[in-house]
A = this chain, B = another copy of it.
Amino acid sequence: MKIFIAQQNYHIGNFDYNIKKIIDAIETAKAAGGELILFSEMSICGYPARDFVEFNDFIEQCNAAVEKIKAHADNIAVVIGGPAKNTEHKGKSLFNAAWFLYEKEVKAEIHKTLLPTYDVFDEYRYFEPAFEWNIIAFKGKKIAVTICEDIWNLGDNPLYRICPMDKMMSQQPDFMLNLSASPFDYTHDEDRKATIKANVLKYKIPLFYCNAVGSQTEIVFDGASLVFDKHANLCKALPMFEEALVEIDLNDDGTIDAPIIEYANRVPDKELNPATLEENLNISQVYDALILGIRDYFQKMGFKKAIIGSSGGIDSAVTLALACDALGAENVRAILMPSPYSTNHSVDDAIQLSTNLNNPYDIIKINDIFQSFLKTLDPLFNGLPFSLAEENIQSRSRGNILMAIANKFGYILLNTSNKSELATGYGTLYGDMAGGLGVLGDCYKLQVYALANYINRNKEIIPPHIISKAPSAELRPNQKDSDSLPDYAILDKLLYQYIEKRMGPAEIKALGFDATLVDKTLKMVNNNEYKRNQFCPIIRVSPKAFGVGRRVPIVGKYLN
């Protein structure tokens, strides 16, 4: 059987755009003699559509999309995904569904059983789990269709009490199709291959896995769709981070005539280890995910041009380099805003960076504005000593300048805060925390350095001095990050244990971290939830990013 996999980048709620993309692939597959074409989860409306599915109007548009696509499913079977109404008068009103379209009819509607409701996922918010499981007969074969999480319930400690493939095996399916929208993180590619292979080893039939690609606000879907034959050989691996349409010929005996793709069954050292940072964190994948995250945010929002506050520091340098790669250097404007406390090398380094990148930049000194605030506030501040308030005035004046230029000329402000800063609250709300998209908000400081080195892998783009100098916010004379924060080499590892691994203070101390430092750091993290709550979306590259996937009570009194 000639089967196509369409790994596509959808736009949530943009039905015309998605339908055209789906129909184009169907027609291409038909022209090549395809008998079945598999799309990803929620392909007609994009994933995650979130509360849009609570609108009956939205569901009706999904239904209309299925009707339009059905007309093209004549002599080819089309498997697409979307929300479907639950016609029983109990349970949630929708299913996360797949439709098997053939001969211009809906031959079957499949419902997802296992509804991920953790981290960035909220599926039980909207959907009723499936409670019946049937295979689909097609051209003398029996097909088991599952949706994403449905095949992720293996192992000794499964998250769900039932396993939909187990329910279908008594009907003796010949092969499995899985529609997915499974997001990237730097551990995901290996987990995915291992999980899909484990299903094939368990059920001993081929598996065609089609994953979505593209970034939706903060969540990056990496594609990397896979095909395993019945012997659990990897026969096809679609690219990461880009669209693809591929053909696979499945033999009647469940084998596939294609070279077996070898891959390492590497178990990454998931403890953040700066000595091996690049290897462990798949830095090239992280880089590609960030590029896709920036590019899709702009494309899907209808924007073209970015503006970035370029301080001469490592975070803004890496953000600028990423933005230039994603959007084109001519579309990225750097604004250098030295204050009285900025060092000369900051401006020089930032100029050198933009010279290397060949992107436009301007220098705007903030001292007049800063002095004007101080003068205006003088009757209230009344000679009190320089403090955090004055530091923040500078940072917020820069935010105001960047937003004013953005408003005037139609730029989108990219935020440059890293995960270590966001975790500890080392940033100014409405100042350096301003922006529409957080490019580095899921990268610890050490990872930002790794990205800088990766960016410089072929030639010098980021000036070496930006990488080598000690980090500083430059908001008071001779300020250094290390005045307020522990050394990043320690801090990042500590934060990783708390945030990614969800270890408590006793467990982290048992790893050898200084007890006082652990308590102080966890307190900083929890005290600053109110700041992160007002932060922009962060491109997610780790298994636990700040934002929709991490929900912490602001008024909570825990470890703080």
Contact = CB atoms under 8 A, between A and B. Distances in A.
Contact of A369 (B124, B369, B389): B369
A381 B362 CA distance: 12
Nearest to A536: B534
Given A122-B551, A384-B408, A387-B407, A13 B558 contact: yes
Contacts of A89: 156-157
A296 interface: yes
Given A556-B13, A556-B49, A557-B13, A389 B404 contact: yes
Interface string A12-40: 11100100000000000000000000000
A555 B48 CA distance: 11
A373 B216 contact: no
A388 B533 CA distance: 26
Contacts of A11: 555, 557
Interface stretch (A55-63, A167-175, A238-246, A253-261): A55-63
Contacts of A429: 403, 434
A510 to B, nearest CB: 12
Interface stretch (A187-195, A311-319, A392-400, A439-447): A392-400
A401 interface: yes
B404 A392 contact: yes
A300 interface: yes
Contacts of A430: 396, 399-400, 403, 430, 434
B534 A55 contact: no
B555 A216 contact: yes
A65 interface: no
Contact of A558 (B58, B362, B384, B407): B58
A557 B364 contact: no
Contacts of A407: 387-389, 392
Given A51-B550, A434-B430, A552-B51, A373 B404 contact: yes
Contacts of A389: 404-405, 407-408
A52 B91 contact: no
Contacts of A555: 11-12, 216-217, 296-297, 300-301
Interface stretch (A75-83, A456-464, A466-474, A499-507): A499-507
Contact of A387 (B399, B408, B533): B408
A161 interface: yes
A160 B559 CA distance: 36
Interface string A39-54: 0000000101111101
A548 interface: yes
Contacts of A387: 407-408
Nearest to A392: B407
Contact of A505 (B57, B365, B436): B57
Contact of A364 (B122, B131, B158, B377): B377
B159 A49 contact: no
A25 B541 CA distance: 48
Contacts of A12: 553, 555-558
Interface string A471-505: 00000000000000000000000000000001111
Contacts of A64: none
Interface string A521-543: 00000000010011111000000
A118 interface: yes
A106 to B, nearest CB: 24
B369 A553 contact: no
Given A372-B372, A376-B364, A17 B557 contact: yes
A60 B503 CA distance: 12
B405 A377 contact: yes
Contacts of A57: 503-507
Interface string A105-142: 00000000001011000101100100100000000000
Nearest to A61: B558
A143 interface: no
A438 to B, nearest CB: 11
Contacts of A556: 12-13, 46, 49-50, 52
Interface string A369-383: 101110111011100
Contacts of A371: 372
A90 to B, nearest CB: 5
Given A13-B553, A533-B537, 7 more contacts: A217-B555, A301-B555, A369-B373, A396-B404, A429-B434, A534-B534, A548-B551
24 contacts: A11-B557, A12-B553, A12-B558, A48-B553, A51-B550, A52-B552, A54-B502, A57-B505, A91-B160, A117-B122, A118-B125, A122-B122, A125-B551, A301-B530, A366-B376, A368-B372, A369-B376, A377-B401, A380-B405, A389-B404, A396-B400, A396-B430, A400-B430, A533-B536
Nearest 5 CB-CB pairs, A to B? A57-B504, A13-B558, A14-B557, A372-B372, A430-B430
